[in-house]
Amino acid sequence: MRELAEILKNWREDPSLMKNVTRWEVIPESEGCYADIPEHLDPALIKALHEQGIEQLYSHQAEAIEAVAAGKNTVIVTPTASGKTLCYNLPVVNSIIENPASRALYLFPTKALSQDQAAELRDLTAGLKTALATYTYDGDTEPGLRQLVRKSGHIVVTNPDMLHSAILPHHTRWAQLFHNLKFIVIDEMHLYRGVFGCHVANVIRRLKRICAFYGADPRFILCSATIANPGELAELLIEDQVTVIAENGAPRAEKHFILYNPPLVNPDLGIRHSSLLETKQLAGTLLAENIQTIVFTRSRIAVEVLLTYLRQLKKTRPGEESAIRGYRGGYLPHERRTIESGLRNGKVRAVVCTNALELGIDIGALDACIMTGYPGTIASAWQQAGRAGRRSGASLAVLIANSEPLNQFIVTNPDYFFGRSPERAVADPDNPVILANHVRCAAFELAFRDQAPFGKTDVTEVLKFLTEDNVLYFSDGCYHWMDDTYPAEEISLRSATRENVVITDISGPAPKTIGEVDRFSAPMLVHEEAIYIHGGRQYQVEKLDFDEKKAFVRQVDVDYFTDANLNVSLKELDIFEENSGDLYCAYGDVHLNALVSMFKKIRFNTHENIGSGPVKLPDTEMTTTAFWLGFSAAALEGMNQSDVQSGLLGLANLAPQVASLFLMNDPRDLRAISYIKSPANGLPTLYLYDNFPGGVGYSAILYSEYRKIFKAAGEAITACRCQEGCPSCVGAVGNGYEAQKKPALRLIEAILR
């Protein structure tokens, strides 16, 4: 088996590979910056560090410990594998040694990360004379252990979902924890943006409200990957001042970071070779030489398709467990734990995953990371690249672009990627849909006094509405819960809607639950005749009971997967701000109707379209926020209707992609629709809308930043080498209109004028 260095040398000498490389960046190793262990830490804790071989701390670790000791809310913003865990474990453990009654609550975004971090805590405290009880509390915690966690857990490690649905609503059972709570640790803070961030900020409002009820005033310690606004996001989440520590003192091993653009299949149409097939080739080379590799993809379907391809390359004997595994949301907990363990002990040589493994779960010292498609943010790209080479030695990260405009912008502008600071994280805790839901949960937990704020937000109108709806009743100056429902169990923190569709396999003698999908995505993924792929196995959807939130599937063996089309119509409801002139721009509330009308069958490996079929489901409705631009006749300067239509379609394809360079969002979180004559204003209009009920704050930023966004969109169109339009810029030509590239540029000129 060859070493990684030899493989990289061969790649550099391969002209057929290097012609697709737009940048090969070698990030040199660097020395660490160290500091003495703070003397105020208990001698027993210092001894425990020495026993783990830690004689000094990184400079940022020591700085964080001193800030926490001074009573400050602290946020640590350093790269992957920089030792952020000690920044909060040391002050928390030290506090419990000094006062065994002290308690701490750790919040991690996933159950896997919670269990991983709890194990690390136990290793640190194993030799201490003071008995520290560290427990994870999540959906997998045995019922018999739960009372012990509530009564005697010094450090309770959980996730926002469990805090929301199982701890806060039953806070009287957790009185020991809340009365003595000294620290709240929030890890992977950068993930708390968009819808998830809106929810978590409100969960923290509820948490602080209950802490105050029990007389506690805990300090917050937050950790994050590098983002542009860590202090702003931390203060938005906890509604208090924070001290930011962002200077990394950890050493860094050498890393090779390659930007790879698949070859053009049709230069005129801008069609490139499939990024999945290019990943299959490069990952196959690494696997053939036993290089332990992690492959990130952008969707659940892509995980399963690529897993199928890689297993075809590396056959296993009958009955033998494959060393290539998939990992994504929808897998059951024991499957995920087995895969994580296999990565650490080396039995799993490759894992194909969504961003579920982007976080700091200990999966050992991987050698290589391949990203199939740009992850959507610079911060996520560096997080994923950091999963390889976490300990020592040279490592490899490859970003393989697909044909989407954002991907092409990144790989054709490598200086932008390597030189740009990470994006701002955006969330809106006062999203009306999400806020109202959490006020319901908070009222269930504790009565609201009249005129009392929820965090820093006045929720009087929400309380009055809930009273009129017979959910609350007002008495003695307080709003009391009176409904017979349990509000928290109806609300998922991962989406603005409340319900998931459960997927049941009916292939065997007894039905078996194999996964779930959110209700809004269900028409796209589990409509009847869809191919649902799970664990490398294919299932055909026999029936989708949309009302009962159940999908029934049967295992099949076919040579294709499916992809559905979504049609959207939009209606303006309310305008928050507007600016009239030749170019009319505004943002406000809109109402959407979405209908999945048909699906395509796409053959494995060749990705050719081999058939289609109708989808017979009712449309789904959503109220959200949007930003829009209307073009007057003066702005269009004589453009004919066909060109205007073509240009609008081009911008609808490109603008949401480019906007994600300025918003820390997944490009799918922002959608666009255009009208040659808007029913609201009668003008040719482009709408960009938040793809979540109630909106999450993107539209307001678009309203203030749209000139920068469309300037970058113009650069992306100009840089694209296609003749008339392609999937890498304004979309494919041939949809019934003339070429879109030039009309789109003319509309951008009108916007920038």
Tens-digit pLDDT profile for residues 513-525:
887 776 667 888 8
What's the mean pLDDT in 391-417? 86
Collapsing DSSP states into helix, strand and coil, what is residue 687? strand
pLDDT for residue 380 is more than 80: yes
Query: Over the stretch 141-150, which tens digit does the pLDDT of each residue have?
Result: 788 888 889 9
Q: How far apart are CA 207 and CA 442, in angstroms?
A: 9
Q: According to the model, what pLDDT value does residue 736 have?
A: 47
Q: pTM of the entire structure?
A: 0.77
What's the mean pLDDT in 578-595? 90
What's the mean pLDDT in 659-670? 77
pLDDT for residue 708 is more than 80: yes
Q: Is 506 exposed, middle or buried (0-12, 13-18, 19+ CB in 10 A)?
A: middle
Q: How far apart are CA 431 and CA 49, in angstroms?
A: 45
Q: According to the model, what pLDDT value does residue 342 have?
A: 87
Q: What is the mean pLDDT of the chain?
A: 87
pLDDT confidence band for 81 (50 / 70 / 90): confident
CB–CB of 441/488 below 8 Å? yes
Best CA proximity match to 655, nearest among 635, 625, 676, 685? 685
**Dihedral of the alpha carbons of 474, 475, 479, 481, in degrees to the nearest 10:** -90
Collapsing DSSP states into helix, strand and coil, what is residue 628? strand
pLDDT for residue 76 is more than 70: yes
**Cβ count within 10 A of residue 56:** 14
Best CA proximity match to 294, nearest among 27, 80, 538, 604? 80
* Residue reference for tokens 């170019």: 583
**Least confident range of 52-66, 557-571, 586-600, 718-732:** 718-732
Best CA proximity match to 369, nearest among 421, 291, 305? 291
pLDDT confidence band for 602 (50 / 70 / 90): confident
Length of the chain: 753
Q: According to the model, what pLDDT value does residue 315 have?
A: 74
pLDDT for residue 56 is more than 50: yes
Query: Over the stretch 318-339, which tens digit does the pLDDT of each residue have?
Result: 767 788 998 877 777 778 778 8
What's the mean pLDDT in 125-133? 82
Task: Identify which of 152-156, 195-199, 692-696 has the greatest average pLDDT.
Answer: 152-156
Q: How far apart are CA 433 and CA 427, in angstroms?
A: 14
What's the mean pLDDT in 228-233? 91
pLDDT cut 90: percent of the chain above it: 47
pLDDT for residue 737 is more than 50: no
What's the mean pLDDT in 494-498? 56
What's the mean pLDDT in 240-244? 97
623 Cβ contact partners less than 8 Å away, ≥ 6 residues apart: 433, 573, 589, 590, 591, 592, 693, 694
pLDDT for residue 496 is more than 60: no
Best CA proximity match to 305, nearest among 563, 521, 564? 563
Query: Over the stretch 408-466, which tens digit does the pLDDT of each residue have?
Result: 888 988 988 888 666 778 788 988 878 999 999 999 999 999 999 999 999 999 999 99
Between 303 and 421, the more confident residue is 303
Q: How far is residue 705 from each of residues 45, 586, 698, 752, measured CA to CA in Å?
A: 50, 12, 10, 12
**Least confident range of 123-132, 245-254, 279-288:** 123-132
Q: According to the model, what pLDDT value does residue 145 have?
A: 86
What's the mean pLDDT in 379-384? 86
Q: According to the model, what pLDDT value does residue 261 have?
A: 96
pLDDT cut 70: percent of the chain above it: 94
CB–CB of 615/599 below 8 Å? yes
What's the mean pLDDT in 546-566? 86
Query: Over the stretch 522-543, which tens digit does the pLDDT of each residue have?
Result: 888 888 899 987 766 789 999 9
CB–CB of 121/157 below 8 Å? yes
pLDDT confidence band for 112 (50 / 70 / 90): low
Q: According to the model, what pLDDT value does residue 357 have?
A: 78
What residue type is assigned to position 161 of the chain? D
Best CA proximity match to 450, nearest among 470, 475, 483, 482? 475
DSSP E strand boundaries for 252-378: 255-260, 264-266, 271-272, 293-296, 324-327, 350-353, 368-372
pLDDT confidence band for 735 (50 / 70 / 90): very low
